[in-house]
Amino acid sequence: MPIALHKVQKKIKAKKDGKLDSLGRRDSKKLSRATLRDEKLKKLGSARSKLKELELIRVGYFKVATKDVKAPLSTQEIRDLIEKWVHRDDEELFEMRSERRPGRPPSTKEDLLKQRIDREIEEFKTGFYIPDLQNSENIERLRRWDGTVGSLAQVKFTRIPKEDASRKIN
């Protein structure tokens, strides 16, 4: 039970001789507000942890991809790694599309997969957020990374766009 809700219940129980059966109007409002607040905090916490989990998986891929690298990577090599990451589920998506009968709508899983791929492609166009692989010291930090969120603060990150900003001509 979250602390805030526990505190409110404890105060009400102390006032009511340990009973939460017949609450007054004011006490029931306090209890319901505390319950709603705790539910909101749980929901925000789970959303935040889900985003962090996705970030950890992404960083883990780049850790594995650079385990044998001796020198800093060039921008093109980094872009190739990002392309592999973005298109890692293309075969599965193609398989789902081929198994689907003609005229049937895509499954939820197929929709979610397509949305994730599209979102990552769009992020790659504007700048893909990855560990800085052009710095040998940072690559070494990435190798020593133990897979937790806390130790990820030691690794420097950068954004790599799909195309050079200098090449863009309007």
pLDDT digit string (tens) for 1-19?
556 777 777 777 777 665 5
pLDDT digits (tens, 9 = 90+) for 96-138: 999 988 889 999 999 999 999 999 999 999 999 999 999 999 9
Output the six-digit token pair for 89. Answer: 């589920």
Q: May I ask the CATH class of domain 66-170? A: mainly alpha
* Confidence (pTM): 0.71
Residue 45 · residue 116 · CB < 8 Å = no
pLDDT of 77 strictly over 90: yes
pLDDT in tens, 151-164: 889 999 999 998 87
